[in-house]
Each structure stands twice: as structure tokens, then as C-alpha cells.
Amino acid sequence: MGLAANIETKLREAQYRAATTAKVGWFTSFYVMGRHIVGPLTSPGEVPKATPTEAPSMGDMRASFFKLFDDEWADVEAKRYRMPREFRTRPDPVAAVRKARNYLDEARAVARRSKTKGGGTEVRETAPDGLPAYYRQNFHFQSDGWLSEESASVYDTQVEVLFTGSADAMRRRALPAISEEVRRLVRERGSEKDIHFADVACGTGRLLSDVADNFPELTVSAVDLSGPYLEKARANNAHAKNASFIEAAAEKLPFEDGSVDILTTVYLFHELPPKVRREVAAEVARVLRPGGLYVHVDSAQYGDTCMDALLEGFPKAFHEPFYDSYAREDLPSLFGESGLEPDGQRIGFLTKASSFRKPN
């Protein structure tokens, strides 16, 4: 590497480190404020239950947290994907303050709901007809569950605060596998437009935004069961040139057999009952073309890291009724039942990106 190229790399790394440090600092400050608002995770008079597993040391947690960003920078430096779009665009301080204020307001509502009997299922009283029973819940004790514009507007801030600014970087652990597959298919077919990428349960479209930033000509299908979240995904992905946004359930995908080249799900399976997980896995296998790639992004599972104690406490603290069974799920077996084969994985802090391939 020449001197000029070396200097450019060092400057880009400095840009990345400065941006991630600022982001982590910003969301950590709201984590602290949110914890003050929420207070103890137990109700008055309730004795906290100890987790069966010893808590990780602060040093181990910090090492895992910062390794996430070291790994991401290594991928950016190796040109597996671009410098994240969020670090190349000028921040909007007015929007940031507005989102922070909305988060703190929501934190108060979450605190009330978390200490109220039935607070995790309030949305059942107002949810539209036709939604699956498992979906009609206030996951994370959030207002309106997945079913309002207000929920969609505050969700990304909630998640970044919970993970102190690391959520987008954790999602991007999927990007190296996606990028490698897209480039391979472009060499075969000559065009991104000829590649069908589907992001199922896309939420507000955070991973999709990074995929479209790297491959803007892809033919993209964004699928979600929540109309408000799907509209937020549409707004977040104006730069995706060939994208369609489809309201549908993951267990009933609106695609023909063998019509999708690359499919992703992000933080979906831990919010599904075991039976529905298998239905979704079968749908993923059905719609993938022979040789197609599925990238499964979700929570780390028991035994993946030194932080099992955090996983044990998560379901009760954040109303995740299906989380513990997911954390014990054998993913190769789950997807193997539908004919998919393991094709590598990456772990970043509290997230695991596992790749599976449909045999030719």
C-alpha cells in the first residue's frame, strides 16, 4: 500500500471511530436516563430472581462490545461493504433531539406497562382482526405493539438505546455474506437487477437500507406484517431503486416457489412460537431458488458468548414470551428440517448472523 493510500485508510478509520464513538456516547446517555425513568425491573415488594448463570464481567462485556466495531471496520477496510451510510451523511440535530424526547416519553409508558398485570398484552384489545395471536402483544412493553405510526417512529431509537448504539452494527453482521453472494451472482448474470433480494419481517428497514446503499439496483421485496412499520421502511429506503413493499406474514410469503435469490430475516424468530418458526423456515426454503442464500439475523443463543446471564434475564425484563425457547433452539436442525444447509455464521456482541443455503 502506497503512502497516500495508507493515509486515506487511516483517515477513513478515524472517521469511522469518531462516528461510532459519538453514536455510542449519545445512546448510552439516553440508556442511563431511561434506566432512571424505568427504575427497578421488579415491582415493589418483589424479590429479584437470580439468573442461573453467573453474570459476565464488565471487562468481558466491553471487549465483546468493542470487538463488534473492530470487526465492522475490518469489513469496511477490506471493501466487503461501504462505510455505513449513517456515518457518511450529516446528522440532523433537530430530528435527533425530537427522537430522544419521544424515546423518553415512551420510556415512561414502558415503565408503567412493565409493572402492570397484562401490560404486555394491552394491544389485544385494539388490534385489527386477522392478525396472528402471537403478534398481538406489546413486545418490549412498547406502546401499540407493532401496530401504530408512533411505535414505528420510536422503535429504532428504543433499540439503539437498549444496545447503547450498537444495534445497526449488529444487524450489519449480515452484510459480508450478502455482499459476497450479490457479487458472485452479478459475475454470473451481469446485473444487480436480475437478483431478487427479499427482506422478510423488515421492520423499519434498517438492514435493507444498508443493503440498498451497497447495491442500489437490486430487485428488492420488503415484507412485513405491520403496515405502519412497512411505511417507515419505505421512507427509510428511498435510495432503493427497485424496491416493493408488501404487507404479509412471514409464514405466508407472497412469492412463487424458487423465486428469491437472497432472503434475510432480522430479529424475527425470537418473537415467534416454536411451531410458527418451523412454518416460516419452510416458507423460506420454498421461495428460495436452488442454491439460494438465507441469512438469519437474530439474538445470540445460549453458549454462543460469555453473556448467557443477559439472555436469561431478557424475556421477563422486556416481555419476550418466546425468547427463551428461541435461545435454546438448534438452528441447523430447525432449518435442516426444511432442507437448508448451514453456510457460516458471524457473531457480533449480542447478535448472530447465520447463513443457510438451499441445495442445488
CATH code of the domain containing 213 = 3.40.50.150
User: Taking each helix axis from N to C terminus, what angle separates 175-189 and 206-214, rounded to the nearest 10 degrees?
Assistant: 40
- Residue 9 included in any domain: no
- Residue 286 included in any domain: yes
3-state DSSP assignment of residue 46: coil
pLDDT at 47 over 50: no
pLDDT band, very low/low/confident/very high, at 44 (cuts 50, 70, 90):
very low
Contact criterion met (CB below 8 Å) for 85 and 210: yes
Average pLDDT over residues 11-20: 97
- Residue 43 included in any domain: no
- Residue 296 included in any domain: yes
Contact criterion met (CB below 8 Å) for 177 and 353: yes
* pLDDT of 4: 83
* pLDDT of 62: 96
pLDDT at 51 over 80: no
- Residue 227 included in any domain: yes
3-state DSSP assignment of residue 102: helix
- Going by the DSSP 8-state scheme, the letter that residue 26 receives in this structure is H
pLDDT digits (tens, 9 = 90+) for 95-139: 999 999 999 999 999 888 888 887 778 888 888 888 999 999 999
Three-state SS string across 167-201, please? HHHHHHHHHHHHHHHHHHHHHHHCCHHHCEEEEEC
Q: Which residues does residue 247 pair with via DSSP β-bridges, in sequence order?
A: 224
Per the listing, cell 448474470 goes with 189
* pLDDT of 49: 57
Query: What region, left, alpha or beta, does residue 150 occupy, with left being phi > 0 and alpha being psi -120 to 50 degrees?
Result: alpha
* pLDDT of 3: 85
Strand 242-247 to 288-299 pairing = unpaired
Query: Chain-wide mean pLDDT for the chain?
Result: 94
* pLDDT of 1: 63
Helix or strand holding residue 121 (H, E): none
pLDDT digits (tens, 9 = 90+) for 147-195: 999 999 999 999 999 999 999 999 999 999 999 999 999 999 999 999 9
pLDDT digits (tens, 9 = 90+) for 84-96: 999 999 889 999 9
User: Taking each helix axis from N to C terminus, what angle separates 3-38 and 58-77, rounded to the nearest 10 degrees?
Assistant: 140
pLDDT at 48 over 60: no
- Residue 333 included in any domain: yes
* pLDDT of 37: 82
Average pLDDT over residues 250-270: 99
Structural domains in the chain (count):
1
- Residue 157 included in any domain: no
* pLDDT of 117: 82
- Residue 127 included in any domain: no
Average pLDDT over residues 32-56: 68
* Distance linking the first and last C-alpha atoms of the chain: 40
pLDDT at 254 over 90: yes
Domain span at 319:
167-357
- Going by the DSSP 8-state scheme, the letter that residue 148 receives in this structure is S
**Amino acid found at 350:** L
